[in-house]
Amino acid sequence: MTGLYLESTGPSRKAHALTAIVAALCGLVLLSSCGLDSMKGNAPTSAQTPSPTTSPDQALADVQALRTETAKLIGNQAWTPIGGPDLSECRLPDSTTGVRYRVSYKTMDPVDVKAAVEKVKALWESKGFSTDIPDRPGTPELTSLFGTGINKREIEFRNNKDRTFLSMDSECVPGSFNDIAMKMPLPDHAG
């Protein structure tokens, strides 16, 4: 029965297939560990990750605390609220409707905005916000710093010719806009 039995001079097809599978698995393990290392810098920090148990009252207290911390970092100016806090609806990560507050403050006191921007930028980034200082061609005396956090949370520090502003959104938290709005005091519009 010559010709029906051939002696193998190299690895069999099974061995080639097994080697290819093992190599592919090793490659996947290697790539997945590289991917995890590169994603660590982009993973939400505890400051960015919304807490599902945060109440609207706590969200307001947290944004007020960030405003106070930012204002102290800027200097000893007297900050005045610009209306508000304002309440708005927002989308929670599970696509349901929640609420968020916006607080806005201004000061007429002198502020060295250019010196303060780097300090404020470092603070906000330490809290998990990405920041941006937009170019303002033709108006170098105006400076703005914008921050964006998880779930489109925004914060802003900017100056105008004679005043400086801080505006911040709270975290988007579960809550009913109508229920909360009904309990909020009406704004005082008397001069």
Identify whether the C-beta of residue 50 lies closer than 8 Å to the C-beta of residue 152. Answer: no
Instruction: With respect to residue 43, please indicate whether it lies within any of the assigned structural domains.
Output: no
User: Helical H runs in 13-104?
Assistant: 13-39, 56-74
Beta bridge partners of 145: 157
Q: How confident is the model at residue 158 (pLDDT cuts 50, 70, 90)?
A: confident
Q: What is the pLDDT of residue 52?
A: 52
Higher model confidence: residue 148 or residue 41?
A: 148
Give the Cβ contact number of residue 103 at 10 Å: 21
- Return the higher-pLDDT residue of 91 and 137: 91
Asked whether residue 140 is domain-assigned, the answer is yes
- pLDDT recorded at residue 90: 92
Residue 160 confidence class, pLDDT cut points 50, 70, 90: confident
| pLDDT over threshold 80, residue 2 | no
Angle at 105 between CA 104 and CA 110, to 5 degrees: 145
Q: Would residue 117 count as lying in a domain?
A: yes
- Does residue 169 carry a pLDDT above 90? yes
pLDDT beyond 70 at 16: no
Flag whether 70 is in a domain: yes
Tell me if 148 is assigned to some domain.
Answer: yes
Instruction: List the one residue out of 165, 132, 133 whose CA is nearest residue 148.
Output: 132
Q: State the pLDDT at residue 54.
A: 81
* Number of domains observed in the structure of the chain: 1
Residue 25 belongs to a domain = no
Residue 113 lies in a domain: yes
Decide the pairing of beta strands 153-159 and 80-81: unpaired
Identify the domain containing residue 159 by its residue range. 56-183
CB contact at 8 A, 79 and 105: yes
150 or 146, which is more confident? 146
Instruction: Give the per-residue pLDDT at 18.
Output: 45
Percent of the chain with pLDDT over 70: 65
Q: Given a cut of 60, is residue 178 above it in pLDDT?
A: yes
pLDDT band at 36 (very low <50, low <70, confident <90, very high): very low
pLDDT confidence of residue 34 = 38
What confidence tens digit (pLDDT) does each residue in 77-90 have?
Answer: 999 999 889 999 99
Residue 97, domain member (yes or no):
yes
As a whole-number percent, the residues of the chain with pLDDT over 90 amount to 36
Tell me the mean pLDDT in the region 20-37. Answer: 41
